[in-house]
Structure 1
Amino acid sequence: MLAGLFSPRAVTKLAFAPPVPLAARSGLALVLIVRNEARHIGEWAAFHRAAGVAHVLAYDNGCTDATMQVLSRELGDALSVVPWAQKLSEAGSGREIHNQVLAYAHAICNFGPRFRWMGCIDADEFLVPKGAGDLNAALAGLAECPNISLPWHNFGRNGHQVPPEGGVLANYTRRAADPMSGARGVTNFKCLFDPARVTAAKVHQFDVDGQAVTWNDRGERFAVKDRVQRAFYSAERIQLNHYYTRSEAELVAKIARGSNRTVAARRHAARVRRNVANIEADEVEDRCALAFLERAG
C-alpha cells in the first residue's frame, strides 16, 4: 500500500536541442507509435496520403499482426519503420520514461531535419483539411506558427457493437458536440510543429524556442496552459478527428491492451469508460472527413 502511494511519477516530458534543418527540407511527416492496428491502419494511411502527408514514421510498439505490412503496402517508400517495443526507466529513481514521448523525441531529433512540418498522432486520429485542397495548403497560411495545437473532436461508438463493414470514416459520423467542454468533451490536443524549433516534447505538448507556447489554426498565439480556454478553439483550417472508441467490441479490446504507461488495469478501464460516457452524452453529426474525401476525388 505505502509503496503504491509513494511510487515515483513517470518521466513524461523530455528536453533536447532542436535538430538543424536541411536546406532542402519540405513536406509534412507524421509520427505514429502503433501496436496491432491492422484492421483500420490501411484506411488511416490512405486518408493521410490523400491529405498530402509526405512521410510516415511508424514506431512499432510490438505489433504481432499485419499492421506494418499494411502500412508498407499503402505507403511504399513514404514509410520508415522503427522497432520500439520497450519499457525504460531511470536506473536511480526507477521512474518510468514514457515510451510514446521517447519515440516523439527520437523522431524529431533524427528525422526532423528532412521535414518542414511534423505531427505526432495516433492510429485512431485523422487530420482533416477544412476547405483547403490538402494539409499542405492548409498549413501554408500558418508558416509563421512554429507549433499548432489541434483540439480533439471525439467520436464515440455510434451504436456499433461489433466492427461494421466499410471502415471508420463512413460509419462513425457522430461526435461530442462541444470539443472544448472539459470533462464532457474529453478535451486534449495533438500538435503540428516545425521540428527545427522544438525544444521539449510531451504527448500532447511541444515547447518551441524554450517556451511553452502554441498557436491555434487561426494563427493566434497562446500560452500552452491557456489553450483550454474557449477562446483558443479553432478548426477553420484543420480538424483533428479522434475515433476514441470505434465499436463496443473494439473498445473492450482497447481496454484490455492497457495504457501506454504502467497503470493499474482497473483504473485504466474506469477512466476509458468514463471518457466514453462523456463523449456520448451530447453528440452532433460531423461528416467533414467524408466531405474532404469527396473533394479529393
Structure 2
Amino acid sequence: MVRPGAGGPRICAVTCVKNEGPFVLEWVAYNRLLGVTDFLVYSNDCDDGTDALLDALAAAGVVHLPNPAQGRSYQMEALKDAARQEVVRRADWIWVADVDEFLNIHAGDHTLPALIAACGDPQAISVSFQFFANAGIAQFEDVPVIAQFTRSHNPDLWCDQSAIEVKSLVRRDFPLQYLGAHRPFFRKTLPTAKHPRWTDGSGRPVPGAFLSADRPRRMRRFPAAGARRFATLNHYALRSLDSYLVKTERGDVNREGRIFDESYWQERNDPAWEDRSILRMLPALEAEITELRALPGVARLHDLSVQAHRAKVGMLRAQPQIAARAAHLGALPALPPGEAELIARLGLAEDAA
C-alpha cells in the first residue's frame, strides 16, 4: 500500500462537515491509504466535537478551518475559499468529496496514483456514485462504515435513472474556472482544442454534454453503465437509522434548506445488489485508524464525539414523533418508486455484480 507522500503526487481532499465526529477518523484514514497527502476540512457550527477532533488530526495532514460561508450555499462558498488556500494551491490533484463518500478503486494497488495511471493521466476523472443502502441496520455502531453496509442498488441504475451523479478528481493544470461539488468547470468560451482531457472511471472520455455542461440535467451526472472499470464511489448517505435521524436533525452541511425526507431515504435504500469489493481495504484501514488514534488527543476526542452522537440519538428517539418517523422509515419498501417498472421494462437481472 502506497503511504501518503512516499514519492507520489500531492493530493488534497476537500470537504465540509457538520457533526460528523464519529465518522471523521475512518474517512481520513481511508483516504490516506488511497494516497491523499493533505486534507482541507471546513466545519459548520459543530456541537459534537468534530472541530476539536479535526484540529487534533493536524499531524495527519488535516487543515481545519471554520466555513467562511455567509450565504446559503455553504459548500460552494467553501470551495471558492479553498482555491485560495496554500494546501490546495500546492497540490497536484484536488479531490472534492463528502465524509460519507469512499472512492473504491479497482485498478492496480487500489490507490489514487493507480487510478490516474489506469485512466491515462488525464486532467480530470469523474467517478460514478453507488448508493449503499441502510438494509435494515437500526443501531449506530462505532465500527468502520465500509464494513457495515454492503448492499446497494444496481450500480447501472438508480431509481428510474441510468445517469448517475459523479465526484471528480482534478489535476493542477485543468483549465479551471471554478470548482463545483461534483465536477470542475471551465469557461464556455474555451476553444475546443484546449478542452481538458477528462475521463470517467473506466478511462473513457466523459460524454460531450457533461464535458461542456451545456445541459442542466447533465452537469453533474452521466450514464453509469460501463463507467466503473477502474473505480466507483461508494456513497453511504444513510448509514444506520440512528445516524440518519441525527443527519435529519442536523440538516445538510452543503446547502441550506435541503430536507432529508422520506423520498431521500427511499431513493437511497435499495439493497438489490451486494458489493463487498471495498472490504479488501478493511485490514489496512483498521491499522491506519489505530495509528491515527495514537496521535495526541485523537482517541479521546473521537470517543467523545461517539458519546455525543449516541446522546443525540437517545434524545431524538425519546420524542414520540421522531420515534414514529423512525419506525415508518424502517418499514418503507426497499425498491424506490419507478425502479421495479424500469427493471422489468429493460429486462435487467437483480443479481449481484
**TM range, normalised to the smaller chain?**
0.7 to 0.9
Judge conservation of contact 2:125–2:199 (CA < 8 Å) in 1: yes
Gaps of 5+ in 1: 1-23, 89-95
Gaps of 5+ in 2: 1-6, 211-217, 288-353
1:31/1:165 Cα in 2 relative to 1: closer, same or farther (>3 Å)? closer
Shift of the alpha carbon at 1:294? 4.5
Local SS of the residue matching 2:177: strand
**1:261 corresponds to which residue?**
255
Q: Which of 128, 149, 155 lines up with 1:151 in the alignment?
A: 128
Judge conservation of contact 1:184–1:281 (CA < 8 Å) in 2: no
Local SS of the residue matching 2:247: helix
Does 2:10 match 1:32?
no
**2:200 corresponds to which residue?**
216
Local SS of the residue matching 1:169: helix
Deviations 1:42-75 (A, max 9, x none): 1111111122111111112222222234344456
- Alignment length (residue pairs): 261
For residues 185 and 75 of structure 1, the distance between their equivalents in structure 2, rounded to whole angstroms, comes to 40
Bigger Cα displacement from structure 2, 198-207 vs 47-56: 198-207
Shift of the alpha carbon at 1:36? 1.1
1:56/1:148 Cα in 2 relative to 1: closer, same or farther (>3 Å)? same
Q: Which of 274, 277, 288 lines up with 2:266 in the alignment?
A: 277
- Write 1 or 2 for the structure with the bigger share of helix: 2
**2:239 corresponds to which residue?**
246
Local SS of the residue matching 1:187: strand
Normalised TM-score (structure 1): 0.76
Shift of the alpha carbon at 1:217? 2.1
Q: Which of 277, 281, 291 lines up with 1:292 in the alignment?
A: 281
For residues 102 and 33 of structure 2, the distance between their equivalents in structure 1, rounded to whole angstroms, comes to 12
Does 2:75 match 1:100?
yes
Quick check: which has more Rg, 1 or 2? 2
**2:150 corresponds to which residue?**
173
Normalised TM-score (structure 2): 0.65
1:138/1:72 Cα in 2 relative to 1: closer, same or farther (>3 Å)? farther
Judge conservation of contact 1:49–1:75 (CA < 8 Å) in 2: no
* Corresponding letter in the other structure for 2:91: F
Judge conservation of contact 2:131–2:153 (CA < 8 Å) in 1: yes
* Corresponding letter in the other structure for 2:233: L
1:233/1:48 Cα in 2 relative to 1: closer, same or farther (>3 Å)? same
Shift of the alpha carbon at 1:181? 3.2
What RMSD over aligned residues (CA atoms) do the two structures have, in Å? 2.9
1:184/1:166 Cα in 2 relative to 1: closer, same or farther (>3 Å)? farther
* Corresponding letter in the other structure for 2:51: M
